[in-house]
Each structure stands twice: as C-alpha cells, then as structure tokens.
Amino acid sequence: MTTTTLPTDLPPLMHAAVEEAGRLLRSGDVVALPTETVYGLAADALNPTAVAKIFEAKERPTFDPLIVHLPDKKQLDTVADVPADIQKVVIQLIERFWPGPLTLVLPKKACVPDMVTAGLPNVAVRVSSNPVFKRVIQHLNKPLAAPSANRFGSISPTSATAVQAELDGRIPLIIDGGACMHGLESTIIKIEAGSPKNFITILRPGPITPEDLKAFGKVKVETRTVIDEATEAPGQLASHYAPRTPLRLLSKPSDFTPVEGKRYALMSYRGEEKDGYLDLTEFEEIMVLSPGNGKLPEAAVRFFYILRALDQLGVDEIIAEPMFEHGMGIAMMDKLRRASINH
C-alpha cells in the first residue's frame, strides 16, 4: 500500500484533502487526521469492518477501547446515554470544554460496535477543536473512532512526518494539518453522582487538569494500570507511549550511575544545571522540554516530539528528569512512568 500525504495550508488544498478523506472514510477505510492533541487514525466509528482496520494498522490489542469523536456536541445522544443523575454536570462539562481535549466515558448506545468499546458497556466520546479534523468530520457527518496514529504502545505522533514514520505503507492517507496544539492526548474522565458534589475520576491525565475540573465535582486521578484485559479507557495499559530505546525516569540525580561504555541521552525538564541532571555523565544529546522556564504547557507541546527525536539517536538509554507533578505535569509523568515500565 502507498501512503499519500495531503497538505491543507491553502484553501484549495484543504478542500481537496477534505474531499479525499471523506471519500476514503465513506468507503470504510482509515485516514490519519490531526487533532488538537495528537494525530489520530480515523475510521467510521459505526462500521465494525472499518474499525477493524484501525486495530490492524496499529497492531492494537482488541481489549484496548477507542475514543469516538463527534461532529458536534449536539450529537452526544447518537452514541451515548447520559444517566439522569449526572446529566446536569455532563451538560456543564461539555458546555465548558467541548470542542476540546476532554473525553467523557458514558453508557453506550447499541449502535456503537463492541469492537470500539472492547466489549464494555461504556463509550469514550469527545469533540475535537482542530479545524482540519472538524472540516473532515462535519463533511462526513458521522462519528469517527480515532486513536493515536502510531503503532500500538509507541510514541504518539504530533506531526504528519511522525505518522509517516509509524504507519507508512499501512494506511492510504495522511492529512497534514501541521503541529498539534497541545501535544498530549485528551483527558479522559468518568463521572459518578454524589452529594453535595459529584465524583470525577480522571482515567487518563491530559491537557484538562484536575484544577480545571474541580469546579464540577470532587476530582481524583486513577493510578491503576492494566496488563492484558479490557480497560475503561485508552492509555491505561501498564506499558505505553514507549520509545524503542530503553527509557529510565529518575526520581533524583543520585539515582543514576553511568555504566562504562553505554551511550546516554537526556530528556531535561528545564535544562538548568542547578537541578543536578545535566552533568551526570557525558550525554550524547540533551533536549529540553521548557528551557529555563519550566512551563508545563510548553513542555507538553514538545514532549512527544523530543521523545521521538531522542529515540532516533541510537543511544543505549534515554534518561528522563522528573517534573512538577501538578497540572499538565501529571499527564507527562504518567506517560514517562508507562514508557519506562519494562526497562
């Protein structure tokens, strides 16, 4: 299979890309599309044969559920039932965060194939704010299943070039919408009724932080990992987001002792000598997430790009500095722990 990449940076090119993506999606094929989080591998969410092509291209286990993207928030009831006891807070959340990087886990409608939800009774659903994705899904006017456009378990792609590196020859089309705005997958939550406050569990940390959600209920972050069974949401498997190069997340500089003859690269949070990581060894390469500032949103945008760049160096091990574990730092630390779990 030949993989074609179509640009969208001029109106005629955008129109042609949307038309071709729509044609392939209507025919039951898969297309890589940009979202505001990472690039997704999209297929008609209500067509089991099309959805199966996502799993095949990604080599994704069928016990890992997919997120369903809607053309707009008014179509939530086409794929999900909202329980009466949480209806008010669901409406408040989607009014505040949709379109955007928040995914809700809700009881699914019968039209959603079991393959999409890994046989579970709930569906993960959101509305993307990316203008290219919006053009395609509104042109199609159907829900799209769209997990990250990479081989299962590897580094999520935040550019069309990264998708090409992951899935070249496995999918027919990549729509190039430029770099992703957030750089981290959407926050996934489930909601349970409570009094006086509802309970909001973050199943996968992401750009929408616990601080953003606390006005809507009592928030906790799920830390459970899953090995080989159906998960409530994507991104909960124990080993995930991993480079091919072994990665080690340090808690403190003293945890590291270099091994003679091994070649190391460093993912630094701020690139500051005072943090104690830059001089641990003669690193082959040091790449910094947020130079000098330690700004978590900036680090998040660069996170997967830098991880992929370090993975391509051919070193023996990637060393990762820790970062502040609040806000978007919760999501990045979660991903680093999962990336390092087998090393």
Distance CA 85, CA 328 (A): 30
Domain that holds residue 140: 4-176
Residue 216 lies in a domain: no
In a domain, 240, yes or no: no
State which of 123, 148, 176 marks the end of a domain. Answer: 176
Last residue of a domain, one of 115, 141, 176: 176
- CATH label of the domain that carries residue 63: 3.90.870.10
The set of residues, in sequence order, having a beta carbon less than 8 Å from that of 22 and lying 6+ positions away, is 136, 139, 140
Single residue among 176, 202, 232 that ends a domain in this structure: 176
CA–CA distance, 175 with 40 (Å, rounded to integer): 10
Q: Are residues 281 and 148 part of one domain?
A: no
First to last CA, the chain: 34
pTM above 0.85, yes or no: yes
Per-residue pLDDT of 35-59, as tens digits, reads: 999 999 999 999 999 999 999 999 9
DSSP 77: G
Q: Do 35 and 141 belong together in one domain?
A: yes
Q: Cβ neighbours of residue 182 under 8 Å, at least 6 residues apart? A: 36, 37, 101, 206, 207, 300, 301
Residue 237 belongs to a domain: no
* SS3 call for 337: helix
**Count of domains forming the chain:** 2
d(Cα 170, Cα 21) in Å, to the nearest integer? 16
Beta bridge partners of 126: 69
Overall average pLDDT of the 313-328 stretch: 96
Tens digits of residue pLDDT in 235-275: 666 556 789 999 999 999 999 999 999 999 999 999 999 99
List pLDDT tens digits, range 150-208.
999 889 999 999 999 999 999 999 999 999 999 999 999 999 999 889 999 999 999 99
**Crossing angle between the packed helical segments 296-311 and 160-167, to the nearest 10 degrees:** 40
Instruction: Give CA separation, 198 vs 95, 122, 201, 217, in Å.
Output: 17, 19, 10, 5
Question: Residues 186, 190, 192, CA angle at the centre, nearest 5°?
Answer: 155
Asked if residue 307 and residue 166 are part of one domain, the reply reads: no
